[in-house]
Structure formats: C-alpha cells, structure tokens
Amino acid sequence: MLGFRMSFRRVPIERPVELLHDGDVVYARPGESLAEALLGVDRVVFSRSPKLHRPRGPYCLRAACEGCIVRVDGVPNVMACRYRVRGGETVETQNVVGSREVDLLSATDFLFPHGVDPHRLLAGVRGASAIVTRLARRVSGLGRLPDVERAPVPATRRDVDVLVVGGGGAGL
C-alpha cells in the first residue's frame, strides 16, 4: 500500500495520517514523534546551522540538542522529537536558502572550512568590516518569526513552603 514511501519502517502503518514536509506528502502513525515520521521516509536533514548552513538532523531524540528543530504550521523552532503527529501539519525545513538538500548559503562552509569570524574578516578595511558584519547578521540565525502572533500565556502565582531550583538532571 504505502511501503514504497517508507524505506526505513520495519512495521507497516495501519491507519496512517498525512502531513506535508517541504511540499511532499509524508505518511505517519498518529501520535508518533515528528522526527520518527520524517526519519521513517529517509528525511534526515531537518534544518541548517545558523552560520555556515551545515545540515542538521536528529541527534539525541530527547530535546537536549537543536538538531531536530523544524517549522510546523508556521511556528518556528519546534522540536520534532517532542512534537506528536496529529495529521494535516505543514512542516518546513528551517534556515535554508534553496532546498533541504542543496542550500545555496552552504557555500560559506566551502569558502571558510575552519569557520568564519565576521568581526575579523576584512578588519581594518574601512567600511568593509561593517558591511560583512551586517551581512552575517542578516543570513545567520534560526528560522523566521511565526506567521501568526500568539497570545501571551498568563502567569500563575503559587504559594509554597519549600522551593528547590536547579536540582539538575541527577537530582540533589
């Protein structure tokens, strides 16, 4: 039925839902993470790095890294490993100029394989350093602003006898 699209899935999906990823239909199980759904159809590049536009994909699958951030229904920086698929979502790869596979700004990685410091590039050349810095600020960053402004979440006030802040991952 849908096996030709699910190259990495070992178990077929009984009642798949559809979502759009960069304009292509992807089938997923309702409730599975978005990262699982995309990996199941061999989609491993979810975004590009802010400065050099290197490909990024899921690394930890527990929201401890920024490898799996995508844009879902116009909302940027959604962690695909934590987002549960409902069906009907529109998912976009973030921080690309061109396509997910061929990002035009990834040429900076070729030109500067050891990284680039825009503050030192053309330093001392009158006006050029400021232009390079301005350009670097324009092309770097993660995602665009949300399509629709979201209402602020109201604050909650609580009175407690004891409050522990910063217990860490291992606890106290």
According to the model, what pLDDT value does residue 7 have? 57
Structural domain boundaries in the chain? 3-139
Give the pLDDT confidence of 11-34 residue by residue, as tens digits: 788 899 999 999 999 999 999 999
DSSP codes joined into one string, 9-65? -SS--SS-EEEEETTEEEEE-TTSBHHHHHHHTT----EE-TTT--EE--SSSSSSS
Decide if pLDDT at 159 tops 50: yes
Return mean pLDDT, the chain.
83
Indicate the CATH number of 3-139 among 3.10.20.440, 3.20.10.10, 3.40.50.300, 1.10.3720.10.
3.10.20.440
- Entry pTM: 0.72
Percent of the chain with pLDDT over 90: 34
Confidence at 1, pLDDT banded by 50, 70, 90: very low
- Range with the largest mean pLDDT of 75-89, 92-106, 131-145: 75-89
According to the model, what pLDDT value does residue 164 have? 81
CA distances from 71 to 22, 46, 68, 112 (A): 10, 9, 10, 28
According to the model, what pLDDT value does residue 16 have? 93
**Which of the 8 DSSP states describes residue 152?**
P
Top pLDDT among 79 and 166 is at 79
Decide if pLDDT at 5 tops 50: no
According to the model, what pLDDT value does residue 2 have? 36
